[in-house]
Amino acid sequence: MMMMRYLPLALIPAVCAQQHTFEAQQQEPWTAKYGTQTDLGYTGPLSYSHLPYTRCLDDISTTFDIAVLGMPFDTATSYRPGARFGPYAIRSGSRRQSPAGGYALNWMTNPYSHAKVIDCGDVPVNPYDNALAIDQMETAYTTLLSRPVNGSASTRTAKLAHDGAEHPRILTLGGDHTIVLPILRSLHQVYGPISVIHFDAHIDTWPAGALSGVLTEQSKVTHGTFFTLAFEEGLMSNTSIHAGIRNKLHGPELIEHDEEVGFELILADDIDDLGTDEIVKHIRQRIGDSPVYLSFDIDTIDPGQAPATGTPEPAGWTGRETKRILRGLAGLNFVGADIVEVAPAYDNADITGILAAGLADDFLTLFVTDEPPKRQVKQKRALKDDL
Ligand SMILES: *[C@@H]1O[C@H](CO)[C@@H](O)[C@H](O)[C@H]1NC(C)=O
Ligand SMILES: *[C@@H]1O[C@H](CO)[C@@H](O)[C@H](O)[C@H]1NC(C)=O
Ligand SMILES: [Mn+2]
The DSSP result for 120-167, as a single string, is EEE----SS-HHHHHHHHHHHHHHHHTSPB---S-----S--TTS---
Confidence of residue 189 (pLDDT cuts 50, 70, 90): very high
Least confident of 4-8, 40-44, 187-191, 291-295: 4-8
Residue 162 has pLDDT above 90, yes or no: no
Residue 216 in any domain: the answer is: yes
Pick from 72, 340, 336: which is nearest to 184 by CA? 336
pLDDT of residue 163: 74
Residue 112 has pLDDT above 80, yes or no: yes
CB of 63 sitting under 6 A from ligand 1? yes
pLDDT of residue 8: 39
Percent of the chain with pLDDT over 90: 82
pLDDT of residue 20: 55
Confidence of residue 380 (pLDDT cuts 50, 70, 90): low
User: What's the chain's length in residues?
Assistant: 387
Residue 268 in any domain: the answer is: yes
Residue 358 in any domain: the answer is: yes
270-290 pLDDT per residue, tens:
999 999 999 999 999 999 999
- Give me the amino acid identity at 123: V
Question: Is 107 within 8 Å of 369 (Cβ atoms)?
Answer: yes
How many angstroms does the Cα of residue 263 sit away from the middle of ligand 2?
11
Question: Is 206 within 8 Å of 225 (Cβ atoms)?
Answer: yes
| pLDDT mean over 112-132 | 97
pLDDT of residue 385: 58
DSSP 85: G
Average pLDDT in the chain: 91
CB of 150 sitting under 6 A from ligand 1? yes
Residue 130 in any domain: the answer is: yes
Torsion on CA atoms 308, 312, 314, 317, rounded to nearest 10: -70
Q: How far apart are CA 231 and CA 255, in angstroms?
A: 15
Question: For residue 262, which ligand has an atom nearest its CA?
Answer: 2
pLDDT of residue 5: 38
Burial of 368: CB neighbours in 10 Å, binned 0-12, 13-18, 19+: buried
Helix ranges (DSSP H) in the chain: 12-27, 29-34, 86-93, 130-145, 180-191, 226-232, 253-261, 270-287, 319-328, 351-368
pLDDT of residue 191: 94
How many domains in the chain? 1
Q: Which stretch of DSSP H or E encloses residue 117?
A: strand 117-122
Residue 12 has pLDDT above 50, yes or no: no
Residue 138 in any domain: the answer is: yes
- Give me the amino acid identity at 65: D
Residue 279 in any domain: the answer is: yes
Confidence of residue 214 (pLDDT cuts 50, 70, 90): confident
Residue 354 has pLDDT above 70, yes or no: yes
Question: Is 352 within 8 Å of 309 (Cβ atoms)?
Answer: yes
Residue 9 in any domain: the answer is: no
- Residue 201: count of CB within 10 angstroms of its CB: 27
Residue 89 has pLDDT above 60, yes or no: yes
CB of 147 sitting under 6 A from ligand 1? no
202 is in an annotated binding site: yes
Residue 19 has pLDDT above 90, yes or no: no
Confidence of residue 100 (pLDDT cuts 50, 70, 90): very high
How many angstroms does the Cα of residue 138 sit away from the middle of ligand 3?
19
| pLDDT mean over 210-238 | 92
Torsion on CA atoms 282, 284, 290, 292, rounded to nearest 10: 90
Model confidence, pTM: 0.91
Pocket test for ligand 2, best of 196, 238, 282, 292 (most atoms within 8 A of CB): 238
pLDDT of residue 10: 40
CB of 139 sitting under 6 A from ligand 2? no
CATH number of the domain to which 118 belongs: 3.40.800.10
What pairs with residue 340 in β-bridges?
297
Torsion on CA atoms 165, 170, 175, 178, rounded to nearest 10: 30
313-342 pLDDT per residue, tens:
999 999 999 999 999 999 999 999 999 999
Burial of 25: CB neighbours in 10 Å, binned 0-12, 13-18, 19+: exposed
How many angstroms does the Cα of residue 238 sit away from the middle of ligand 2?
6
Contacts of 326 (CB under 8 A, 6+ apart): 359, 362, 363, 366
Residue 368 in any domain: the answer is: yes
| pLDDT mean over 133-148 | 97
Specify the residue with its C-alpha closest to ligand 2, atom 1: 238
Q: Residue 77: which domain range?
A: 48-377
- Residue 193: count of CB within 10 angstroms of its CB: 18
